[in-house]
Amino acid sequence: MISILKFDDYPGNPIIPPDESSGVKGRYNPAVIVVDGVFYLFYRQVMTSDKITGRIYLTKSRDGVNFTGEPELVIYPEYDYERYGCEDPRIVKVGDLFCLTYVGNSARYRTGNICLATSSDLIHWEKHGSILQVGRDWDSGQVKAGVIVPERIKGKYVMYFMGEERPWEGGKIGIAYSDDLINWEKEDEPVLHPRKECFDSKAIEPGTNPILTEEGILMIYNGWGEGTFYKPFAVLFSKEDPSKVLERGDEPVLTPRKDWGKVFGCDGHIVAEGLIEHDGYWWLYYGAADRAICLARCKVTR
């Protein structure tokens, strides 16, 4: 399955650019869910003159490409655990509940911790605070990028996350389990490591929320290495044992049509955070160079 995942960049990218004339430095790192034919896209927004590292906005579309109307601010810093910013949303529906995980940038929990907000309508959100903090070993620097599997497995909720021993160095992907989506128990060891002599040799983090397929648990993750910036890769975990890797791609699943770093005059990160199956295609939404939101698609083949 992983070997046939090759995404084609949408020729009209970016679908949501920044608006520096209005002081919006970047709109990026999008999470997407489709409900009753409507695409709900959550993204991180950063202002040019802002000391806050991000707020989370919501915009909508009928076709997944044209997002019109005034975006709505839905998640913003209010508490100590998110004092300096709310970053990088991921969205999943678990039963009748929509779960939005995001990174809280807080002095109390060092650089990053994983936060949760829930909703029944995607508009009104209840915050549950920090649900995963740094540990004492390989994840003692920071934890980020929490992504929740949409169904219980053997009675437990499952979340993949990134842990670092030091902030911004050597990220690995770990796994945690919960009975209630609020209280999580981490496994002692990572389930996915960077690979020597590969594009993801330096660090990795979960990208998109996992999708349950016939073959297993599909997730697009972001990896980077020496001399390269973030790129998206694919991994398939077992549905019987979510810590077990069944298949892992050797190459990135997407090569953008443009060098977004050159377009925006900055680092050319490609950060995938939204994956859905729609109309016979996988739709992959990603942040380009920490400035804009882009789309890529791949035909579903089974």
Nearest Cα residue to 148 out of 118, 106, 188: 118
Report the C-alpha gap between 150 and 159 in whole angstroms.
10
Beta bridge partners, 113, equal: 104
Q: pLDDT, tens digit, for every residue of 46-98?
A: 999 888 899 999 999 999 999 988 999 999 999 989 999 999 999 999 999 99
- Confidence (pLDDT) at 50: 86
Phi, psi for 266 (deg, rounded to 5): -155, -170
Q: Which domains does the chain have, with CATH numbers?
A: 2-299 (2.115.10.20)
Tokens of 101: 């995980």
pLDDT tier at 168, thresholds 50, 70, 90 = low
Contact between 100 and 90 under an 8 Å Cβ cutoff? The reply is: yes
Q: Look-up: residue for tokens 């949409």?
A: 150
- Encode 68-97: b = buried (16+ Cβ within 10 Å), e = exposed: eeebeebbebeeebbbbbbbbbbbbeeeee
- Confidence (pLDDT) at 107: 65
Contact between 132 and 162 under an 8 Å Cβ cutoff? The reply is: no
Phi, psi for 100 (deg, rounded to 5): -115, 115
Q: Taking the model in full, what pTM does it have?
A: 0.96
How many CB atoms are closer than 10 A to CB 282?
A: 22
Report the C-alpha gap between 204 and 181 in whole angstroms.
24
The larger pLDDT score, comparing residue 136 to residue 2, is at 136
- Confidence (pLDDT) at 109: 47
- Confidence (pLDDT) at 244: 98
